[in-house]
Structure 1
C-alpha cells in the first residue's frame, strides 16, 4: 500500500510540475530534497513536504510572471524621460532606434555627452501659478551633482521652455556655480536667493527630479546659506493636469500614445485634438485616480500627417467651463 501511495504522489508531482515553466533543474532539485528528507520523515510528512514544495514553486513562478500595474499613479518627480517621445523629423533616427525626448532650446551641440533631465516651469492654472514639467537634453557628466548642475542651469536659462505657456519664476541673470550631493542633502550654489516661494519650489522640484526622492535642498549665495527647501505637496504645487506625452514640439508617428496625468474631480478629463480651427477628435479620459490623488491615463490616437494641437483639460463641476488646460502642438509624420 505504501509503494502505491508513493507512486501516486510521484505522478501527481510530475503532472503539476509539467504545468509550470521553471528552470530545467527545478523538478530534479525538488525530488532530491524530498528523497533526502524521506530518510527521516514518516510517509505523511513526506507527502506534506512534497506538496508544499510544488505549491511554493507555483507561487514563485506566478509572482515572477505578474505584470507591473500599468495604471499606477505617476511619479511627478520621475528622473527619467517618458519613453515614447519622438525627435523632430529633421533628426529622426531609423525606425528601429529607441525613442528619445526632443532636443530643447538649451540643448548642447552634437557630440556632447547629454542627459535627459526634468525641468520644472511655471504656468497659469485657473489664475494660480503652478509647476509643469518638461524633459530637456542637457550636458552633464552623469553624476548626481552633475545632473543637478545641468538641470538647474537649464531651469535658470531665460525662455528655455519648449512650451510657450511655460515660464520661470527666476529673474534673468541668475546662475548656478556649483552643486554637491551628500546623502539626502543637495547643496546648490547660486548667484541669487529664490525671489519667492514659487521660485523655491521650482528649484527644489527640479533638483529632486535630478537625484530622485525628496531631498533637502540647501541654497547658498556667496558661501552663505539663504534657504533650506523641501518639496511641498503635489496637490498644492503642480498643475492639476499635465499633458506628459507627446511633449511640445514633438514629431510622432501617425499612431501614437497620449499620456496624461493629474488630480481632477472624479478622475475625468477631456482631450480635444484640433487642426487649425477644426476639431479632429474629442475623447473623455478617465484617470487611474481622482483628486486629491494624482492619477494617470494613456490612450492611443491615429492621425493623418500634419500639425495638431492636443488640448487636455477638465470641465468645471460648477458651470462646465474649461479649466486646467495644458496644450501641446505636435507634428504627425
Structure 2
C-alpha cells in the first residue's frame, strides 16, 4: 500500500474478507481486546492462541444471503470450478496488510440455537502459532492445538460443537493455491461419513462452520476440499463433499444478531464508557441491547439502535453505556432483534460480564 488505510477502506476490506472481522469492529479495539485477553484463560495462551472478542454468529456486515429457513437446508453447494487465484480479490496486497494489522485475529464458527433453528455463531481468536489455519480448524471441531478437548471454560457456553468427540482436524492450502484442504480424522471405529443422530441441519452447519473457519484463517473465500484420514471423501456427516465446498448465503446459516464486544467473561470498569458492538439484520433495523443482572431479571441499562434490514446481510451496530451507577457484580449483555409479530421470534446474542469499581 502507498499510505495508511482510511477507516472506510478498512471497512470495505473487512467486508470482503471471508468471515473476518466485521466493519463494526475497529482494529484498535481488536488489538486492545487481544492484549487484555492474554492474561487469562491459560490453555489458549499456552497453546499459542488467545481469545479475543466473542461471538460468531454474524459474520458481521457480511455478504449477501438468502431468507431465513425454518426447514433443514439443502446440501452444501459444491464448486466444480474453483475461483482462480487471479480473481479471488482485487485487493490482495491490502488484504495481506489487513491480516498483519489485526495480529492474527481469526473467526472460529460454532453452532447455537435461534427461533429459526440452529445457526452459526463465531468467536474471535488471535492465533499466535505460525500455522493459524490448522489451529483454527482444530478449534472448530472442539480440539486444542495439541489435540486435547476444548476446555468448557474457554468456550462460550451458548455455542456447541457437534462433531464426534474424537474428531480431529488440520488444514493447509492446496498446491495450486486456489482452494483449502481440510483433513479430518478421529476414532477409526467411528464413521464421520454418517450424520448419526445429528439433524440434517446440524450436519450441514458443522460442515459450513469448518468452511467459514478455514476461509477466515486464510482471509479469502476459497472453496474447501475435504479429506478423511488423508484421502478424498465423498460424504461427511451425510453432506456431499466430493467437490470443493463453498459457503451458503449468510442469512441462511448465520444467526441474525451477533456480539463481537464484549467477550464472554469480560471485566468492565464502571468508571469507563462501556461499548457494545455487533451486527444484525432486524425488522426495520431495530436492535435493542440491555444489561441485566446475571441472577434475576433486573435490567440496569438499555439502549436501542438501528442496524439494517432489506438486504441479505448483517449490518454493524454500536451502543455506549454509562455504568457509573451500576454496582459491581455479574451481569449479562443481551442484544436482540425485533419481531413485529409478537410471537417472540427474535434472535439474541449474550455475553456475561463482571462490573467492578
- Short-chain TM bin: 0.5 to 0.7
- Which stretches of structure 1, 4 residues or longer, exceed 6 Å deviation after superposition? 69-74, 85-88
Corresponding position: 1:84 with 2:39: no
Change in Cα spacing, 1:194 to 1:300, as seen in structure 2 (3 Å) is farther
When residues 113 and 170 of structure 1 are mapped into structure 2, their CA distance, relative to the original with a 3 A threshold, is: closer
The aligned counterpart of 2:135 is: 150
Deviation at 1:73, TM superposition (A): 10
Distance in 1 (alpha carbons) for counterparts of 2:223 and 2:229: 19
Whether 1:203 and 2:210 are equivalent positions in the alignment is yes
Greater Rg by CA: 1
Alignment match of 2:342 (pick from 286, 298, 319): 319
Change (3 A) 1:183 1:103: farther
Task: State how far apart, in whole Å, the 2-side matches of 1:186 and 1:222 are.
Answer: 16
Number of positions where the alignment pairs a residue of Structure 1 with one of Structure 2:
258
Give 1:121 deviation, angstroms. Answer: 0.5
1:307 aligns with 2:330: yes
Shift of 1:209: 0.7
CA 1:150/1:270 → structure 2, altered by over 3 Å: closer, same or farther?
same
| 1:186 corresponds to | 180
> Which blocks of at least 5 consecutive residues in structure 2 are unaligned?
51-103, 143-148, 186-191, 196-202, 234-240
- Cα distance in 1 for residues equivalent to 2:155 and 2:31: 14
Q: Aligned equivalents of 1:280 and 1:72: distance in 2?
A: 36
Instruction: Report the TM-score, using the length of structure 2 for normalisation.
Output: 0.63
Whether the 8 Å CA contact 1:250–1:330 is kept in 2: the answer is: yes
How has the CA–CA distance of structure 1 residues 72 and 317 changed in structure 2, closer, same or farther, with 3 Å as cutoff?
Answer: farther
The answer to which of 174-183 and 127-136 deviates more is 174-183
Equivalent in 44, 49, 52 of residue 107 of structure 1: 44
CA distance in 2, matches of 1:86, 1:251: 16
Larger mean Cα displacement after TM superposition, 71-80 or 318-327: 71-80
Determine if the alignment matches structure 1 residue 241 to structure 2 residue 234: no
Structure (1 or 2) with the greater helix fraction: 1
Q: Distance in 2 between matches of 1:241 and 1:102?
A: 28
Farther off after superposition, 65-74 or 152-161: 65-74
Q: 1:132 to 1:249 in 2, by over 3 A?
A: same
1:233-289 superposed Cα distances (whole Å, 9 cap, x missing partner): 111011110011101112233322100202122111111110232110121121155
The Cα of 1:70 is off from its aligned counterpart by 9.5
**Which one of the candidate residues 167, 175, 190 is aligned to 1:174?**
167
After TM superposition, give the deviation of residue 328 of structure 1 in Å: 0.8
Larger relative contact order (Cα-Cα within 8 Å, sequence gap ≥ 6): 2
Q: Could you tell which deviates more after superposition, 78-87 or 300-309?
A: 78-87
Contact 1:123 1:166 in 2 (8 A): yes
RMSD, aligned CA? 3.4
Q: 1:283 aligns with which of 300, 303, 310?
A: 303
SS at match of 2:335: strand
- TM-score normalized by the length of structure 1: 0.67
Give deviations 1:59-90, integer Å, cap 9, x for gaps.
xxxxx9975289879747115986436999xx
Which runs of 5 or more structure 1 residues have no equivalent in the other structure? Answer: 1-63, 89-96
What residue number does 2:95 align with? Answer: none
Query: Are residue 257 (structure 1) and residue 275 (structure 2) matched?
Result: yes
Q: SS of the residue aligned with 2:29?
A: coil
- Shift in CA distance, 331/200, structure 1 to aligned 2, threshold 3 Å: same
1:98 is displaced (CA, Å) by 5.3
Q: 1:211 to 1:274 in 2, by over 3 A?
A: same
Q: Residue 44 of structure 2 aligns to a residue in which SS?
A: coil
Provide the C-alpha distance between the structure 2 equivalents of 1:194 and 1:116, rounded to a whole number of angstroms: 33
Question: Matches of 2:313 and 2:216 in 1, distance apart?
Answer: 20
